[in-house]
Chains A and B, each alone.
Chain A
Amino acid sequence: MHLTLEHVLVLGAVLFCIGLYGAITKRNAIAVLMSIEIMLNAVNITMVGFSYFDTVKLYSQHLTGQIFAIFIITVAAAEAAVALAMVIAIYRKRATVDVGEIDMMKW
């Protein structure tokens, strides 16, 4: 049994769904952030998968997918840093990290 593009895509999709489920259902902001990281990584896997299994060799020559993945990792790191800083700031102000209670931006 070879590793094919389908396998990679299914893995990405499953990871994405796990991440999505976590991001929607978790009350803890840290957990939501972690879930978002999972979704980002699911996308990374998909990107790299496309890049690696590209039979036409149109894009793999340029390693577009892989470069995208590296970009996303970088952005995700920055994002995680900013988001964690915000979570800490919110925790200091409101003494909670429950996203259900952080709804200052409603109507």
Chain B
Amino acid sequence: MLYQLSWTILFAPLLAFAVIIFGTRVWDLRSRPKVALPAAEHGHGEHHTDDHDTHAVTDEHGHGGHSEQDEDDDPHVPQLSAGAKASAYAALVIMALACIYSWVLLFSTVLHPADLAAAGKEVFAYNWLSVGGLNYIVGFHLDRLGIAMMVVVTTITFLVQFYSQGYMENSAGYARFYAYLSLFAFSMLVIVFAENFLVIFCGWELVGLSSYLLIGFWINKRAKPEEQRPSPASANLQAFIMNRIGDVGFILGIMILFVNTGSFDFIAVQHGVVHMDKTLLGIAMILVFCGAMGKSAQFPLHTWLPSAMEGPTPVSALIHAATMVAAGVYMIARTSPLFATAAPFAWEVVASIGAFTAFFAATIALVQSDFKRVLAFSTISQLGYMFVGLGVAGPEYGVGPGMFHLFTHAFFKALLFLGAGSVLHGLHHAMHKEVQDVRLMGGLASKMPITAATWLIAVLAISGFPGFSGFYSKEEIIGLALEQGHPVIYALTLATAGLTAFYMLRAFILAFGGKGGKFMGLWGGPYRGYGEVKESPLYMTIPLMLLVIPSVLAGYWTGFYQYVNVSAENVANLSIPALFQATDTWIGVIVSLVGLGFAWFLYGRVDLVKINQVVQSNAALRTIHRILFNRYYVDDLYNWIVKYVVLGLAALAQAFDRYIVDGIVNGVASGVTGTGSGIRRLETGRVQSYMIGFFGGVAVLAVVFVVLITTVWK
């Protein structure tokens, strides 16, 4: 019963969404004072259109006003209406219940493993459609892998919703924000509960939709080219389309599996593929992995994630760090039995792309100056680790290592993003504008101690500092890469560990510390911005403090590997003593510590300006810095491809359509009319010329007739 009713967790956020969209949000909008439309007399009668056209030019220049700009960037209301607050409470209450329920499920399955069969339990299903013996079923099931993911999703969603009460204060779209967050939670849970490829694909696209809506939450916000920041409206477009590119691969993979097994169901497909060609299955799984690459922002489909930082920061924490981007990892874990059946190159591709992306993104993160972008690239890099974990673990560990890193990462990365949000919130209040550049921060630790302390813990966790959760999940993956015989992947992940430690502590010191602060510049120091910065309200700091707990302790859940195992065989669990005894663990720790130490040494003791001078004066460093700062020019390459190749081909097709296809149609038409107008000249109106034709015709016929009579018809 406890398990059977778990579908309520799935539909709870949908209920919240419906309540807000059709209820409280309408209430909110109705209670707002009616704004008289400026120049409402416009728009009646056609003569105005000309007016508007002439205005267009002058309007382009009229955008300068600063106060206007802020208003469009993030519209505010003086005070939240009851409807808006009710929206937040509806979402919070429902999500709190779902969260509690999922924790109950987690503890229940840990304490009484026998209650829930390893294969899981179908909790809700209906026949979407069936035709000619093919069944398309919308089915949701619950198993341990799902519960682990569900706990992450509901917990972080709840904390983010709680946090947003502070972050989104007085936002005009307050109710809409909560509606979207609830929609996202529902979509994500669809993926978690999915029983077959059809449902997971549905959830896949729906999280894409929620992500699209939330990135573009500030619909009229402008791009900031000087900071290389796109407008949210472009960022969400880019995110959606990049994800769709991956989804094409995903659906092609699903099709290959479907036409070979006649089913979408994970279990049925698993039974069906044993007869399939291993290479074909491998190709199918790599195509499925393409979907994960898009959603989890793996190279080469990674460029959307940094752009997605244009959304509100709580969204970045929830969707673009902790949960949605990890859906790719979850999906690969879910389909891992198929990967295991396929030819070995399938896992190798997953691990290689993960390792490369981890390293690649980490190098970019080294030099980013945008606070959130550092975190974005760090997310990409950590997701790479998870894929390495899935790819190299082999049958004895199953999906454990990869999923474990997903689990721990979700907490500390959410903490990092929410902390960053707290900083940005404080700075926005201090400077009355949006500031994300770390070069305008510095020394914030003494002004925002709670944020700084929690952030430091998260930095240590992500760097793999012994004792913190990241240590257990990450060192295990790095060690496994070596143990399972992937030296290149090992080298890349090891180097990435050092880079991660370096850039995370760099970001911390640039924001919270600096030369002159305590502990050799680690804590406090000169503030490079202006205005008075204050610690964020409790709405925002409570989730930070709560997230510290799992960021440290999540790593001690040693039964996790077996818990999330989806294959038939048992797998080994994480052994902490063994981890501490292995040499390669300590190699990893040393590399991380070197990274941390180097960052501390450099940024804690040297002025940022001076570092910049050194980098700019050295040609080699300058070049490397420019390449990294421009993210290896991948974005520019994609822009170029879209602008010249895709749109070029489209323009070519358009020209072909207009001048060839339609040209033929119009050509035929004008040919007919042309011939007609030529022939009508024969109608002179003079009877005499008609007579010539008439009698001439008769004469010709007569001659022909006579000739025929005398020759052929004789």
Residues of A at the B interface (CB closer than 8 Å) are 20, 23-25, 32, 99-100, 102-107
How far apart sit A21 and B511, CA to CA, in the bound complex (Å)?
111
Set of chain A residues within 8 Å of B680, measured between Cβ atoms: 107
Is there an interface contact between B685 and A100, defined as CB atoms closer than 8 Å? Answer: no
CA–CA, A55 and B695, complex, Å: 31
Note all chain B residues with C-beta closer than 8 A to A25.
688
Are B692 and A106 neighbours in the complex by a CB distance under 8 Å?
no
Top 8 A-B pairs, shortest CB-CB distance: A106-B685, A103-B685, A105-B685, A107-B680, A107-B683, A24-B688, A103-B686, A106-B684
Do A100 and B686 contact each other (CB < 8 Å), given the known contacts A107-B680, A107-B681? Answer: yes
Is there contact, CB below 8 Å, between B691 and A23? yes
A104 to B691, CA, bound (A): 17
- Distance in Å: Cβ of B699 to nearest Cβ of chain A: 10
CA distance A107 to B679 in the complex (A): 10
Q: How many angstroms from the CA of A106 to the CA of B688 in the assembled complex?
A: 13
Flag whether B56 is at the interface (Cβ < 8 A).
no
Contacts of B2 in A (CB 8 A): none
Q: Is the CB of A24 within 8 A of B685?
A: no
Least Cβ distance of A67 to chain B in Å?
25
* In the assembled complex, B134 has its CB within 8 A of some CB on chain A: no
Chain A, residue nearest B691 (CB): A24
Q: Is B687 an interface residue (CB 8 A)?
A: yes
Describe A's contact surface by its main secondary structure.
loop
A46 to chain B, nearest CB (A): 15
Q: What sequence of 0s and 1s flags, for each residue 659-701 of chain B, a beta carbon within 8 Å of any chain A beta carbon?
A: 0000000000000000000001101111110011001000000
Cα distance A105–B680 in the bound complex, in angstroms = 12
**Size bracket of the B interface:** 10 to 19
Query: How many inter-chain residue pairs (CB < 8 Å) link A and B?
Result: 32
Query: How far does the alpha carbon of A100 sit from the alpha carbon of B684 in the complex, in Å?
Result: 10
- In the complex, what residue of chain A is closest to B687 when comparing beta carbons? A99
Residue of B nearest to A105 (CB): B685
Alpha-carbon gap, A58 to B242, bound state (A): 98
Contact B688 A104 (CB under 8 A): no
Residues of B within 8 A of A24 (CB): 688, 691-692, 695
A107's nearest neighbour on chain B, judged by CB, is B680
Asked if B684 contacts A23 (CB within 8 A), the reply is no
Q: Report the bound CA distance from A72 to B695 in whole Å.
A: 20
Chain B residues contacting A104 (CB-CB under 8 Å) are 685
CB contacts (< 8 Å) of B692 on chain A: these are: 24
Evaluate contact between A103 and B688: CB separation under 8 angstroms.
Answer: no
Q: What residues on A are CB-neighbors of B687 within 8 Å?
A: 32, 99
Known contacts A23-B688, A23-B691; can you find 15 more A-B pairs with CB under 8 A? A24-B691, A24-B692, A24-B695, A32-B687, A32-B688, A99-B686, A100-B688, A103-B684, A105-B683, A106-B684, A106-B685, A106-B686, A107-B680, A107-B683, A107-B685
State how many angstroms separate the Cβ of B639 from the closest Cβ of chain A: 59
Could you tell me the distance in whole angstroms from the C-beta of B352 to the nearest C-beta in chain A?
Answer: 78
State A17–B685 Cα separation when bound (angstroms).
23
Give the shortest distance, in Å, between A30 (CB) and chain B (any CB).
14
A-B contact pairs, 23 of them (CB 8 A): A20-B691, A20-B695, A23-B688, A23-B691, A24-B688, A24-B691, A25-B688, A32-B687, A99-B686, A99-B687, A100-B688, A102-B685, A102-B686, A103-B684, A103-B686, A104-B685, A106-B683, A106-B684, A106-B685, A106-B686, A107-B680, A107-B681, A107-B683
Which residues on the A side are within 8 Å of B683 (C-beta)? 105-107
Q: How far is the CA of A104 from the CA of B685 in the complex (A)?
A: 6
Instruction: Give Cα A107 to B680, complex, Å.
Output: 6
C-alpha spacing A82/B456, complex, angstroms: 116
Chain B neighbourhood of A32, CB < 8 A: 687-688
**B682: min CB distance to chain A, Å:** 9
Residue in B closest to A16 when the chains form the complex, CB atoms: B695
Determine whether the beta carbon of B684 is less than 8 Å from that of A99: no
Cα distance A25–B691 in the bound complex, in angstroms: 10
Chain B contacts for A105, CB-based, 8 A: 683, 685
What is the CB-to-nearest-CB distance from B406 to chain A, in angstroms, rounded to a whole number? 82
Q: Which residues of B contact A100 (CB under 8 A)?
A: 686, 688
A100, B686: Cα distance in complex, Å: 6
Residues of A within 8 A of B681 (CB): 107
**A29's closest neighbor in chain B, by CB?**
B687
Interface centre among A20, A102, A103 (most CB of B within 10 A): A103
In the complex, A20→B685 CA distance in Å?
18
- Smallest CB gap from B689: residue in A: A24
What chain B residues lie within 8 Å of A106 (beta carbons)?
683-686
Cα(A106)–Cα(B162), bound, Å: 87
- Determine the distance from Cα of A42 to Cα of B685 in the docked complex, in whole angstroms: 27
Cβ distance A104 to chain B, nearest Cβ, rounded Å: 6
Q: Determine the distance from Cα of A104 to Cα of B684 in the docked complex, in whole angstroms.
A: 9
Closest to B692 in A: A24
CA distance A105 to B685 in the complex (A): 5
CB-based nearest A residue for B679 = A107
Q: How far is the CB of B703 from chain A (nearest CB, A)?
A: 15
Q: In whole angstroms, how far apart are the Cα atoms of A105 and B683 in the complex?
A: 8
| A-facing residues in B584-611 (Cβ within 8 Å) | none
Give 1 or 0 for each of B564-596: 1 = CB within 8 Å of chain A CB.
000000000000000000000000000000000
Most buried by A among B680, B687, B695: B687
Cα distance A48–B418 in the bound complex, in angstroms: 120
Q: A residues within 8 A CB of B684?
A: 103, 106
Q: Which residue of A lies closest to B696 (CB)?
A: A24
B678 to chain A, nearest CB (A): 11
Instruction: Please tell me if the beta carbons of A99 and B695 are within 8 angstroms of each other in the complex.
Output: no
Complex Cα distance, B683 from A103, in Å, reads 10
Q: Nearest Cβ distance between residue A96 and chain B, in whole angstroms?
A: 13
Chain B residues with CB under 8 Å of A20's CB are 691, 695
Q: How far is the CA of A91 from the CA of B610 in the complex (A)?
A: 109
With A and B bound together, what is the CA distance between A31 and B523 in angstroms? Answer: 123
A82 to chain B minimum Cβ distance, whole angstroms, is 15
Q: Smallest distance from the beta carbon of B675 to chain A beta carbons, Å?
A: 14
> Which residues of the other chain, B, contact A103 by a CB distance below 8 angstroms?
684-686
Q: How far is the CB of B692 from chain A (nearest CB, A)?
A: 6
Q: What's the minimum C-beta distance from B442 to chain A, rounded to whole angstroms?
A: 88
With the chains together, A4 CA to B354 CA distance in Å? 115
CA distance A36 to B46 in the complex (A): 65
